[in-house]
Structures are given as structure tokens and as C-alpha cells.
């Protein structure tokens, strides 16, 4: 109810502040007997970890995951899986200079107004550090999906005005290889180079820039998604919009579809013996809120990070004018580290709907 829980059957609850002892997550509803590869969970966290390249924040956190419960002899037991990620680099003093002021376009003011408690230590619960817990939980969701043959791939499709071309029809394995070959996590090498240069220039200027992440899901079975309100794309949209800095979500034809005519946009079914395919896929793999077996695809838009290295005018808690200093360690562009967060949230939505779909029909 207080918004710290996501999912219905494959359900996660995250906890922890950026400068407390630890952050963590409880995964409740993961079926028993799933082999849990802890190295895989850690490798996912490493993709989100700060300090991984010159275009990410230099804050140092190893983000080492610790299992407290729910796994026995390498398998899920069906009981809650509790994962803990201790906070190491909680230099609260980095935030002392901003103790009394509200940082522009951050959550300082709204949290203070809502809760009557000012935790000035770098965002507290509103910090994107919370997403590490989601990545850990998402890794388990990915293991569950992989067991059922479902695969997810996201990459950076835009930084500022630099857009990646439509990707050739490569396998997800190939795409992952291309993506992890550069620090911006764009699967198109030429575009990736431009993106890195752009972010580096923005960083040197003490500024930040927005971007987009595109994601696709392959081998999704037909039937996932619950009409009316829990349409698959509605739950994907909520999942993505709950990630820090996200301002937009579109799937299939998205906003460009608003300019099309029905006769262009309709996806014609092709004769087939098994699950039918469609000639085009403007539906983005989802019709009536339910997966139709085609590739699911969507795009997520991120605003530029609010913390910049410029001094800015703002106010303090009394409402008086104040200046905020541009200090600290922050990301010039959030998308390279957010790729794995987008994948994690997509995996959580799909795992949840996979389970929900199991009780749809009479045996």
C-alpha cells in the first residue's frame, strides 16, 4: 500500500535507504525448485554498479549480494528469498553542504512535505540506489523465465539526439555481446561511439543528458496479461515509469502509431499450423493486453539526471532563496547503468504474469 511492493504472484518488496546499513529485497512467490545461480545475480548487479566506467558516477560500491533465506542447496524453497546488499560508501558528509536546501528536480522537497522527515543523506529512499535491489530480484525472475525459454534484451537506443538505428535481426546472444562490448551499452557499435563521446563531453561540462532504452522479449508464450486493468503493456509501463528519471513509455508502434491509419497499422495474421504469426508487429507482441506470441518491444524515455556540477538557485526549508553548490559524484547520463534495471523490471512483470496465467483455465 505504501508503494514498496511490486507484483502479485511473483512479488518483490524492497527496503533500505542510500545511506543506511543496507538495502535489500524480499522475493515472495518464486516457485520452489528453481536453481539459483548466485554468480548470475552478482553479474547483473555489476552491470548497475556505480564506478564501472568513466561515464558513470565514481561513487564506490561493490554491491555484493548476500542471501538470507529462501534458498537451500542451490534451489529456491518456495519461501521468501531475502537478499541483502550492504551499503559501503555512505559518505553522508558529501551531502552536508546541501542539508538545508531542496535540490532542484530531486525528491527532497516532496519527501519532506509528505513525511515531515528530512533525510538529507543523498536521497534516502528516493535514491536510485534502491534499484540495485530490483536488479537482484530481477535476476531471479530472469532465471525463472530462462527456465521457460523466455529471453529479454534491452540496450541504449538514444542519448540526447543521437539515436541508434533499428537493429538487424541478430540473436539475443549476439546482441548481448555487441552491447557489452562498449561502456554505453548500445548494441550498434558506431552509434555507441558517438554516444560515449557525447556523454563524456556533457560530463566535462558538469552537465547531464537524457536518453532512451529499448527492450524486447523473445519466446514469450501466448496468453500473458490480464485484461482489463492489468494488461501486459500497462504493467510493463508502470514498471518502467517506476524507475527513477523515466518520463515516458511506449510499446509497439508507440507514439508514431498515433499518426497512422488503421489500414496501415493492422497486423495481418498469416496462415499457420501452430501459433499464428503476423505480417507486421505494430501491436508490439500484445493484443487486448495479452501477449500474442510475437516479439514484445517497448521504449523507455529517461530525463537528464538532476544533479549537475553547476551552482543553482533554489530554496531552503523555510522557503528562502539559497544557492546549491555543484559538488559530489553523479552520473552524467543514467541510461548505461539503467539497461539492466529495465531488463529486471521487465523480467519481474513477465514472471508475475506467467504465474498469473497458470490459473486462467480449468485443468
Q: Is there binding between residue 63 and a copy of itself (CB under 8 A)?
A: no
Which residues contact residue 97 at a Cβ distance below 8 angstroms, ignoring those fewer than 6 apart? 325, 327
Main-chain dihedrals φ then ψ at residue 66, nearest 5 degrees: -125, 135
The only residue of 122, 138, 301, 336 in contact with a copy of itself, by rule CB under 8 A:
301
Q: Please, what is the minimum distance in Å from the beta carbon of residue 177 to a copy of itself?
A: 26
305 among the known binding-site residues? yes
Asked if omega into 18 is within 30° of 0 (cis), the reply is no
Q: What is the CA radius of gyration of the chain?
A: 21
Residue among 105, 80, 89 at smallest CA distance from 24:
80
Q: Is there binding between residue 253 and a copy of itself (CB under 8 A)?
A: yes
* Chain residues 161-200 in contact with a copy of itself, contact rule CB under 8 A: 161
* Residues belonging to the chain: 363
Question: Is the C-alpha dihedral spanning 104, 110, 111, 116 positive or negative?
Answer: positive
CB-based contact 351:222 (threshold 8 Å):
no
The only residue of 42, 312, 328, 329 in contact with a copy of itself, by rule CB under 8 A:
312
Q: At CA 44, angle to CA 38 and CA 45, rounded to 5? A: 90
Residue among 168, 170, 197, 166 at smallest CA distance from 184:
197
CB-based contact 215:243 (threshold 8 Å):
no
Q: Which is nearer to a copy of itself, 181 or 295 (CB)?
A: 295
291 among the known binding-site residues? no
Which residues contact residue 110 at a Cβ distance below 8 angstroms, ignoring those fewer than 6 apart? none
* Chain residues 88-147 in contact with a copy of itself, contact rule CB under 8 A: 102, 104-107, 109-111, 113-117, 119, 124-126, 130, 144, 147
| Only segment of 92-100, 165-173, 183-191, 241-249 that touches a copy of itself (CB under 8 A) | 241-249
Q: Is there binding between residue 61 and a copy of itself (CB under 8 A)?
A: no
Which residues contact residue 353 at a Cβ distance below 8 angstroms, ignoring those fewer than 6 apart? 224, 225, 226, 230, 232, 235
356 among the known binding-site residues? no
Q: Is there binding between residue 356 and a copy of itself (CB under 8 A)?
A: yes
Helices 335-357 + 38-48 axis angle, to 10: 140
The only residue of 50, 122, 304, 336 in contact with a copy of itself, by rule CB under 8 A:
304
Q: Which is nearer to a copy of itself, 22 or 183 (CB)?
A: 22
Q: Please, what is the minimum distance in Å from the beta carbon of residue 85 to a copy of itself?
A: 11
Q: Which is nearer to a copy of itself, 174 or 230 (CB)?
A: 230
CB-based contact 297:252 (threshold 8 Å):
yes
| Only segment of 36-44, 91-99, 178-186, 249-257 that touches a copy of itself (CB under 8 A) | 249-257
Q: By CB under 8 A, how many residues form the interface with a copy of itself?
A: 153
* Chain residues 33-52 in contact with a copy of itself, contact rule CB under 8 A: 33-34
The only residue of 75, 97, 177, 327 in contact with a copy of itself, by rule CB under 8 A:
75
* Chain residues 314-343 in contact with a copy of itself, contact rule CB under 8 A: 314-315, 319-321
192 among the known binding-site residues? no
54 among the known binding-site residues? yes
48 among the known binding-site residues? yes
* Chain residues 261-290 in contact with a copy of itself, contact rule CB under 8 A: 261-276, 278, 282-284, 287-290
Residue that has been written with the C-alpha cell 523466455 in this structure: 150
Measured CA to CA, the distance from residue 343 to residue 79 in angstroms comes to: 24
125 among the known binding-site residues? yes
Binding site feature residues: 48, 54, 125-127, 244-245, 288, 303-307, 329
Binding site feature residues for NADP(+): 48, 54
Amino acid at each position: 500500500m505504501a508503494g514498496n511492493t511490486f507484483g502479485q504472484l511473483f512479488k518483490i518488496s524492497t527496503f533500505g535507504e542510500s545511506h543506511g546499513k543496507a538495502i535489500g529485497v524480499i522475493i515472495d512467490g518464486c516457485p520452489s525448485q528453481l536453481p539459483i545461480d548466485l554468480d548470475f545475480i552478482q553479474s547483473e548487479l555489476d552491470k548497475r554498479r556505480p564506478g564501472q566506467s568513466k561515464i558513470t558516477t565514481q561513487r564506490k560500491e561493490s554491491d555484493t549480494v548476500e542471501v538470507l533465506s529462501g534458498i537451500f542447496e542451490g534451489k529456491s524453497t518456495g519461501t521468501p528469498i531475502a537478499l541483502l546488499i550492504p551499503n559501503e560508501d555512505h559518505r553522508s558528509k558529501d551531502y552536508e553542504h546541501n542539508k538545508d536546501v531542496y535540490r532542484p528536480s530531486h525528491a527532497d522537497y516532496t519527501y519532506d512535505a509528505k513525511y515531515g522527515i528530512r533525510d538529507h543523506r543523498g536521497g534516502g529512499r528516493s535514491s536510485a540506489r534502491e534499484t540495485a535491489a530490483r536488479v537482484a530480484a530481477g535476476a531471479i525472475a530472469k532465471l525463472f523465465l530462462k527456465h521457460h525459454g523466455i529471453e529479454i534484451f534491452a540496450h541504449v537506443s538514444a542519448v540526447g539526439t543521437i539515436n541508434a538505428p533499428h537493429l538487424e535481426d541478430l540473436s539475443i546472444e549476439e546482441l548481448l555481446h555487441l552491447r557489452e562490448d562498449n561502456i554505453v551499452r548500445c548494441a550498434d557499435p558506431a552509434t555507441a561511439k558517438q554516444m560515449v563521446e557525447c556523454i563524456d563531453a556533457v560530463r566535462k561540462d558538469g552537465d547531464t543528458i537524457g536518453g532512451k532504452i529499448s527492450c524486447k522479449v523473445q519466446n514469450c508464450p501466448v496468453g500473458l496479461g490480464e485484461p482489463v486493468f492489468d494488461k501486459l503493456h500497462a504493467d510493463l509501463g508502470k514498471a518502467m515509469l517506476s524507475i527513477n528519471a523515466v518520463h515516458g513509455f511506449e510499446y509497439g508502434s508507440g507514439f508514431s502509431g498515433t499518426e497512422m491509419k488503421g489500414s496501415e497499422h493492422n497486423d495481418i495474421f498469416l496462415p499457420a499450423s501452430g501459433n499464428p504469426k503476423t505480417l507486421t508487429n505494430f501491436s508490439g507482441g500484445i493484443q487486448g493486453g495479452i501477449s500474442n506470441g510475437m516479439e514484445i518491444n517497448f521504449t523507455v524515455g529517461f530525463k537528464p539526471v538532476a544533479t549537475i556540477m553547476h551552482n543553482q538557485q533554489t530554496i531552503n526549508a523555510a522557503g528562502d532563496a539559497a544557492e546549491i553548490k555543484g559538488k559530489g559524484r553523479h552520473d552524467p547520463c543514467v541510461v548505461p547503468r539503467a539497461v539492466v534495471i529495465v531488463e529486471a523490471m521487465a523480467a519481474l512483470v513477465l514472471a508475475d504474469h506467467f504465474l498469473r496465467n497458470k490459473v486462467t483455465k480449468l485443468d
